[in-house]
């Protein structure tokens, strides 16, 4: 291979040849008599189970048109068809962000050709087995398709293994996997005779042929968006080099506030009263932007840190007083003014940490202004009557509800969980006692109790004139619950940070806030990733509990709504199987993503 | 001449004090770790602290940047007395660099980010300026090519040199070293000691806790011998090694030399 005359010879690690299938089977499944017996027994059991499961899926009394007809119900519940464009725009935005994020962070799961082809062969073989053992009740066209796809997978995988040079070194890029996926989805939509199912004026119709155009076209566009967003994100970051960080930062910001806008877009179309907006809303927002800017320029200099701490404490006291006054009814104040005031206090309290050069101060002012504008726009929009008529209640349901609740519960409980974990490990007894009390009380109560409490009891405790929608109450309760578990997961991470890290940060003169934010938390969160993802998966699945307090989530639709339709009376099985598949796909993807993240972060450190 | 100023040459005695410890006492629960330490460190002085394990060497230097809080006595660093006042502590910590036995680099940050973190967040330097300075320092400790790596990818000696660069990035007036070579394999010790020698030659005020007698003999202006929380003997390297006055010092030296 390499020239022998070269002094130092670097050798490539020896190739491990992939054993032939026959060889592999002999070595792993029939290496001894006991091994063979076990293999046979367990294969028989597995095949039996598989056949039983297939029997459920393809039983004569399992009417899959119940799912096919109710697809929109399952995904968006009663969302008006006329307004469906909003759903598509929102989905498109999320998918564009997914694609761009994968590109910007250069996600690369690093699948080698060999691994891909092994799993392709395995999947293909599995499909072939299904095609053979599936019960006689299976429609013959479906059996044919299963066999065709299985054979194709096996053939393609084996050919790839044969024609690609060094298949265990050559890795398949994420880009080509993504493109393949997009093409497969589009091909399915435009070629596969899935049929067109739906309701017209309450009556079911089912036409043979392709998927409905109103599904086919948007999904084709969406696939194009994901793929192009990926390449766009990757290339921009690559071209911009250093400034690529800006793209990543904007995407991060999008993931935090973006979905809020989208829920908004889907649910509301506020009819702003421009006169009132100009007279009241805009001046209030401008006032807070200005106040923040003045405070930053006056107190944001490193030398004024002490003064900033004092002013911050006074403002914080004022903010607390405002809330108290609100509860006692001492003086009226718009809720958004109260919140903005509290945010202003927080800003000033953080100034000693964020203070810096003129440029840093200007940047901080810009951030503050943007945050205020977004916040005030959202609040004002929420307080304005909507022109969008959505059959209410409930106005949000199905898969969209599941995803929205799960996402925001995680998002909201994360900062609370971090604060609780920090409080529980802090040196100050009052914080420790409060946090420990909160965590232990919440963890000692079942989720469903918390949800009931929030949806029924919470409105009774609110000050007069302050309503809360059912959905918001459930969301709040779930977030309160989730935060306690989040705190415990993060505390585990905090405890794993070595004492020397605290000392090194102290010795450099970092403040406690800086030490926590820059040194301790990043390390603690890394350690907590597996637990946090585990919690995310649990949260996602447990959203089905909101059915019990009145939400129309996936489970309720599959279990109650569909079986009550005159056309599909009693048809629970297909819906339940279908939503299990959805839950599984999402939970499994999250778990894979977390494994990828871990190896990525791990390799950065090793 | 007070006991704290023992063994000073007249030239050194004329320099201003960088660190003054007067009757410093420290207890861990009922256990007294420091029993009234008196010590003065002059500007540009290199002071090496010796003593058996558990004698309070680490405790003493950790009191100087307030990683430990002393209960009695006075510690004055560069004219500022260490009290509970938060501002004084932050000011002193940003002017006193510390190098630990186990490096304590931040594992989630690259070498460059380790070095620029404190200048950016504590000194509020612009990032670009901090990075230029960091590269200079990495050059000075001999590992500019490792800037983009993570601490876990470096050898122990390299990590300790990064730790020194990280402290130097704050332009400290004083450097404290707590057994900086004790966790290193023998072949890496000299690369760290060389950096420290260069630092001493540049006139840095240093307190070094170490068991490296060669380094002590060559670099130290004065040696301090501690036992059971007390300063037993202070001397110049010549008198200390060849003609110690205290019996306990002799015993200690006979055990280690
Ligand atoms: N955090 C602590 N809590 C209780 N006792 C402590 C603590 N830190 C140190 N000590 C005790 O104080 C005494 C002095 O410890 P110190 O670490 O200063 O010794 P040292 O001279 O640095 O020893 P070594 O050479 O082993 O590092 C020891 O007896 C030690 O057990
Ligand atoms: Mg020690």
* Chain A stretch 306-365, residues whose beta carbon is closer than 8 A to a beta carbon of chain B: 306, 353, 355-357, 359-360
DSSP H or E segment with residue A121: helix A113-133
**Which residues have C-beta within 8 Å of that of residue A482, sequence separation ≥ 6?**
A409, A410, A413, A417, A535, A539
What's the CATH number where A459 sits?
1.10.3720.10
Mean pLDDT is lowest, of A43-47, A162-166, B185-189, for A162-166
Predicted pLDDT at A6 = 44
Cα B119 vs. chain centroid, distance in angstroms? Answer: 20
B88, closest residue in chain A (CA to CA): A509
Banded pLDDT at A238 (limits 50, 70, 90): confident
Whether A370 is covered by a domain: the verdict is: yes
How many distinct structural domains can be found in chain A? 2
Predicted pLDDT at A7 = 46
Q: What is the mean pLDDT of residues A588-597?
A: 86
A507, closest residue in chain B (CA to CA): B93
Banded pLDDT at A523 (limits 50, 70, 90): very high
CA distance A227 to A231: 7
Predicted pLDDT at A140 = 86
A402 and A540 share a domain?
yes
Query: Quick check: A480 and A417 in contact, CB under 8 A?
Result: no
**pLDDT tens-digit map of A449-484:** 998 888 887 777 665 555 566 777 888 899 999 999
| A240: pLDDT strictly greater than 90 | no
Predicted pLDDT at A495 = 93
- Its domain, for residue A67, covers 58-79+396-606
Query: Which of B108, B149, B153 is the best residue to mutate to test the A interface, defined by the most A CB atoms within 10 Å of its own CB?
Result: B108
Tell me which residue has tokens 């619950």.
A481
Predicted pLDDT at A16 = 65
Q: What is the mean pLDDT of residues A72-94?
A: 87
Mean pLDDT is lowest, of A28-42, A506-520, A574-588, for A28-42
Q: Which atom of ligand 1 is nearest to the CA of B59?
A: 18
Q: What percent of chain B has pLDDT over 70?
A: 97
Q: ∠ CA A313-A316-A317 to the nearest 5 degrees? A: 90
- The per-residue DSSP string of A200-238 comes to ETTEEEEESSSPPHHHHHHHHHHHHHHHHHHHHHHHHHH
Q: Is B246 on the interface with A (CB under 8 A)?
A: no
**pLDDT tens-digit map of A384-427:** 776 665 554 455 788 988 888 899 899 899 999 999 999 999 88
| A202: pLDDT strictly greater than 80 | no
A468 and A381 share a domain?
no
A323 and A278 share a domain?
yes
| A79: pLDDT strictly greater than 50 | yes
Ligand 1 atom 17: residue of nearest CA: B58
Predicted pLDDT at A205 = 82
| A5: pLDDT strictly greater than 60 | no
| B165: pLDDT strictly greater than 60 | yes
Candidates A417, A479, A432; CA nearest to A454 is A479
What spacing in Å lies between the alpha carbon of B229 and ligand 1's midpoint? 10
Within 8 A of B80 by CB-CB distance, chain A residues are none
Q: Is the CB of A523 less than 8 angstroms away from the CB of B94?
A: no
A457 and A554 share a domain?
yes
| B225: pLDDT strictly greater than 70 | yes
Candidates A600, A598, A529; CA nearest to A106 is A600
Banded pLDDT at A333 (limits 50, 70, 90): confident
CA distance A265 to A378: 11
CA distance B5 to B24: 16
Q: What percent of chain A has pLDDT over 70?
A: 93
A361 and A480 share a domain?
no
A142 exposure class (CB count in 10 Å sphere: 0-12, 13-18, 19+): middle
Instruction: Give the single-character DSSP code of A397.
Output: B
CA distance A155 to A349: 64
What spacing in Å lies between the alpha carbon of A228 and ligand 2's midpoint? 58
Q: ∠ CA A205-A210-A216 to the nearest 5 degrees? A: 100
Helix (H, G, I), strand (E, B) or coil at A330: coil
A322 and A380 share a domain?
yes
| A501: pLDDT strictly greater than 90 | yes
Q: A385, A418, A436: which is the final residue of a domain?
A: A385
Q: Is the CB of A605 less than 8 angstroms away from the CB of B152?
A: yes
A444 and A469 share a domain?
yes
Q: Is the CB of B94 less than 8 angstroms away from the CB of A508?
A: yes
Q: Is B108 on the interface with A (CB under 8 A)?
A: yes
Q: Is B77 on the interface with A (CB under 8 A)?
A: no
Predicted pLDDT at A576 = 92
Ligand 1 atom 12: residue of nearest CA: B33
Instruction: Give the single-character DSSP code of A10.
Output: P
Within 8 A of A518 by CB-CB distance, chain B residues are 117, 121
A306 and A406 share a domain?
no
Q: Is the CB of B108 less than 8 angstroms away from the CB of A504?
A: no
Q: Quote the tokens at residue B117.
A: 């973190």
User: Which residue out of B24, B34, B58 has the highest number of ligand 1 atoms within 8 Å of its CB and is therefore the one to mutate?
Assistant: B58
The more confident residue out of B209 and A377 is B209
Q: Is B106 on the interface with A (CB under 8 A)?
A: yes
Q: pLDDT averaged over chain B?
A: 90
Predicted pLDDT at A182 = 94
Predicted pLDDT at A479 = 93
Phi, psi of A129 (to 5 degrees): -60, -45
Q: Which atom of ligand 1 is nearest to the CA of B52?
A: 25
End-to-end alpha carbon distance in chain A: 31
Q: A385, A415, A434: which is the final residue of a domain?
A: A385
Whether A89 is covered by a domain: the verdict is: no
Within 8 A of A359 by CB-CB distance, chain B residues are 126
Query: Quick check: B129 and B173 in contact, CB under 8 A?
Result: no
In the structure, which protein residues have their CB atom closer than 6 angstroms to any atom of ligand 1? B 28, 31, 33, 51, 53-59
CA distance A504 to B163: 9
Whether A71 is covered by a domain: the verdict is: yes
Q: What is the mean pLDDT of residues B185-199?
A: 91
Whether A471 is covered by a domain: the verdict is: yes
Banded pLDDT at B144 (limits 50, 70, 90): very high
Q: Is the CB of A508 less than 8 angstroms away from the CB of B152?
A: no
A501 and A529 share a domain?
yes
**pLDDT tens-digit map of A97-152:** 999 998 888 877 667 888 888 889 999 999 999 998 888 888 888 899 899 999 99
Distances (CA, A) of A242 to A236, A237, A246: 11, 8, 8
What spacing in Å lies between the alpha carbon of A308 and ligand 2's midpoint? 39
Banded pLDDT at A1 (limits 50, 70, 90): very low
Whether A21 is covered by a domain: the verdict is: no
CA distance B196 to A409: 53
User: Which residue out of B26, B27, B50, B55 has the highest number of ligand 1 atoms within 8 Å of its CB and is therefore the one to mutate?
Assistant: B55
Within 8 A of A528 by CB-CB distance, chain B residues are none
| A166: pLDDT strictly greater than 90 | no
Q: pLDDT averaged over chain A?
A: 85
B61, closest residue in chain A (CA to CA): A507
Q: What is the mean pLDDT of residues A55-66?
A: 84
Ligand 1 atom 5: residue of nearest CA: B28
Where helices occur in A425-515 by DSSP H, the ranges are 429-443, 447-452, 458-461, 470-496, 499-507, 512-514
A319 and A412 share a domain?
no
CA distance A213 to A207: 12
CA distance A464 to A332: 12
Whether A481 is covered by a domain: the verdict is: yes
| A324: pLDDT strictly greater than 80 | yes
Query: Which of B96, B107, B116, B173 is the best residue to mutate to test the A interface, defined by the most A CB atoms within 10 Å of its own CB?
Result: B107
A450 and A599 share a domain?
yes
Minimal Cβ distance to B170: which of A509, A511, A523: A509
**Which residues have C-beta within 8 Å of that of residue A187, sequence separation ≥ 6?**
none
Predicted pLDDT at A368 = 92
What was the ipTM of the complex prediction?
0.94
Ligand 1 atom 30: residue of nearest CA: B54
Predicted pLDDT at B237 = 87
Please report which ligand is nearest the Cα atom of B28. Answer: 1
Predicted pLDDT at B4 = 62
Minimal Cβ distance to B104: which of A302, A501, A510: A501
Ligand 1 atom 25: residue of nearest CA: B53
A379 and A414 share a domain?
no
Which residue(s) pair with B209 in the sheet?
B49, B178
Phi, psi of A36 (to 5 degrees): -65, -45
CA distance A585 to A591: 10
Whether A14 is covered by a domain: the verdict is: no
Banded pLDDT at A378 (limits 50, 70, 90): confident
Q: A362, A385, A408: which is the final residue of a domain?
A: A385
Whether A148 is covered by a domain: the verdict is: no
Minimal Cβ distance to A605: which of B66, B96, B107: B107
């Amino acid at each position: 291979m390499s020239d022998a005359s070269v002094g130092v010879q670097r050798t490539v690690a020896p190739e491990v040849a992939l054993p032939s299938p026959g060889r592999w089977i002999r070595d792993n499944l029939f290496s001894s008599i006991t091994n063979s017996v076990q293999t046979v027994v367990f294969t028989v059991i597995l095949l039996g189970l598989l056949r039983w499961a297939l029997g459920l899926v393809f039983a004569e009394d399992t009417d899959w048109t119940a799912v096919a007809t109710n697809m929109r119900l399952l995904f968006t519940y009663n969302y008006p068809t006329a307004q469906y464009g909003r759903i598509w725009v929102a989905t498109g935005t999320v998918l564009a962000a997914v694609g761009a994020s994968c590109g910007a962070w250069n996600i690369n799961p690093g699948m080698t050709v060999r691994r891909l082809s092994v799993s392709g062969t395995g999947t293909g073989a599995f499909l072939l087995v299904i095609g053979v053992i599936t019960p006689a009740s299976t429609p013959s066209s479906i059996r044919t398709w299963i066999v065709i796809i299985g054979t194709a997978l096996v053939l393609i995988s084996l050919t790839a293994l044969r024609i690609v040079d060094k298949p265990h070194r050559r890795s398949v890029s994420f880009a080509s996997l993504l493109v393949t996926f997009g093409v497969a989805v589009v091909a399915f939509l435009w070629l596969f005779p899935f049929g067109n199912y739906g309701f017209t004026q309450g009556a079911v119709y089912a036409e043979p042929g392709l998927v409905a155009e109103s599904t086919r076209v948007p999904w084709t566009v969406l696939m194009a968006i994901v793929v192009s967003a990926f390449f766009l994100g990757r290339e921009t970051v690559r071209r911009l080099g250093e400034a690529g960080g800006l793209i990543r930062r904007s995407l991060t910001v999008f993931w935090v506030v973006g979905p809020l806008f989208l829920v908004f877009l889907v649910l509301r179309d506020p009819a702003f009263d421009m006169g009132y907006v100009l007279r009241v809303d805009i001046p209030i927002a401008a006032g807070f932007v200005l106040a923040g800017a003045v405070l930053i320029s006056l107190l944001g200099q490193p030398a004024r840190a002490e003064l900033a701490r004092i002013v911050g404490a006074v403002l914080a006291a004022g903010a607390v007083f405002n809330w108290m006054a609100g509860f006692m009814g001492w003086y009226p104040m718009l809720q958004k003014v109260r919140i903005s005031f509290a945010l202003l206090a927080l800003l000033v309290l953080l100034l000693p940490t964020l203070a810096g050069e003129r440029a840093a101060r200007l940047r901080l002012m810009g951030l503050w202004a943007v945050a205020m504008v977004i916040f005030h726009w959202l609040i004002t929009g929420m307080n304005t009557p909507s022109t969008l008529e959505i059959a209410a209640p409930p106005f949000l349901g199905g898969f969209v509800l599941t995803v929205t609740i799960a996402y925001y519960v995680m998002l909201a409980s994360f900062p609370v969980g971090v604060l609780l974990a920090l409080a529980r490990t802090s040196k100050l007894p009052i914080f420790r006692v409060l946090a420990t009390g909160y965590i232990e009380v919440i963890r000692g109560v079942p989720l469903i109790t918390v949800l009931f409490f929030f949806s029924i009891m919470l409105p009774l405790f609110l000050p007069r004139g302050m309503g809360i929608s059912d959905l918001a109450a459930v969301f709040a309760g779930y977030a309160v619950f989730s935060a306690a578990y989040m705190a415990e997961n993060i505390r585990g991470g905090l405890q794993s940070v070595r004492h020397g890290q605290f000392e090194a940060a102290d010795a450099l003169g970092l403040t406690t806030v800086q030490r926590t934010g820059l040194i301790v938390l990043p390390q603690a969160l890394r350690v907590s990733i597996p637990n946090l993802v585990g919690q995310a998966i649990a949260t996602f699945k447990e959203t089905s509990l909101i059915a019990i307090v009145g939400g129309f989530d996936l489970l309720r639709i599959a279990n109650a709504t569909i079986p009550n339709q005159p056309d599909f009376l009693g048809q629970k099985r297909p819906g339940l199987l279908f939503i299990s598949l959805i839950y599984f796909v999402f939970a499994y993807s999250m778990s894979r993503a977390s494994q990828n993240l871990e190896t990525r972060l791990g390799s950065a450190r090793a | 001449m007070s006991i704290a100023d023992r063994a000073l040459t007249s030239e050194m005695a004329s320099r201003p004090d960088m660190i003054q410890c007067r009757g410093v006492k420290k207890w861990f629960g009922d256990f007294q770790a420091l029993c009234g330490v008196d010590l003065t460190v002059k500007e540009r002085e290199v002071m090496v602290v010796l003593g058996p394990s558990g004698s309070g060497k680490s405790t003493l230097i950790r009191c100087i940047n307030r990683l430990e809080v002393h209960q009695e006595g006075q510690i004055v660093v560069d004219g500022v007395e260490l009290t509970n006042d938060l501002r004084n502590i932050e000011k002193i910590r940003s002017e006193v660099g510390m190098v630990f036995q186990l490096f304590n680099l931040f594992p989630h940050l690259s070498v460059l980010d380790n070095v620029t973190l404190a200048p950016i967040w504590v000194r509020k330097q612009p990032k670009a300026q901090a990075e230029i300075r960091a590269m200079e320092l990495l050059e000075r400790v001999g590992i500019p090519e490792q800037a983009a790596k993570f601490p876990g990818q470096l050898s122990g000696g390299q990590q300790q040199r990064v730790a020194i660069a990280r402290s130097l990035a704050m332009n400290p007036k004083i450097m404290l070293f707590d057994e900086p070579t004790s966790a290193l394999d023998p072949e890496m010790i000299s690369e760290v000691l060389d950096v420290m020698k260069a630092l001493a030659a540049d006139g840095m005020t240093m307190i070094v806790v170490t068991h490296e007698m060669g380094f002590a003999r060559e670099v130290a202006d004065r040696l301090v011998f501690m036992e059971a929380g007390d300063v037993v003997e202070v001397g110049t390297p010549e008198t200390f090694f060849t003609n110690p006055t205290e019996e306990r010092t002799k015993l200690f030296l006979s055990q280690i030399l």
